Amino acid sequence: MSTGVLALAHVYKRTPQISMLVLKVQGDFSKKAIGKTTFTCDEGLIIKQTIEDAIASNEGKVITAKSYGRNKSGEIVAQFEITWSFKVKSNIS
């Protein structure tokens, strides 16, 4: 979710319209998640640049973004890698 929100923020109401698709999800759990777990991704600028590259080249671009789950003490309990594809939508009428 944390990587998807960043991607959506950069494609929402964008001209040209951009399609986004999850190609792969991989996760690792290092500790049992007890209580509230917060997932974060700090790769928003890289995601934005990948989308800009897809627009500039008019070709699909792929990025793998990392999301970290932390417990209330700030310890990493899980890590996910989500591979996204971004492409300019074709204007088929």
CATH code for position 69: 3.10.129.10
- Please report whether residue 67 resides in a domain: yes
Could you list the residue range(s) of the whole structural domain that residue 72 is in? 2-88
- Please report whether residue 93 resides in a domain: no
pLDDT along the chain (93 residues), means of 10: 91 92 96 92 96 96 97 95 95 60
Nearest to 6 by CA among 60, 58, 39, 45: 45
pLDDT at residue number 88: 95
The set of residues, in sequence order, having a beta carbon less than 8 Å from that of 49 and lying 6+ positions away, is none
pLDDT at residue number 92: 58
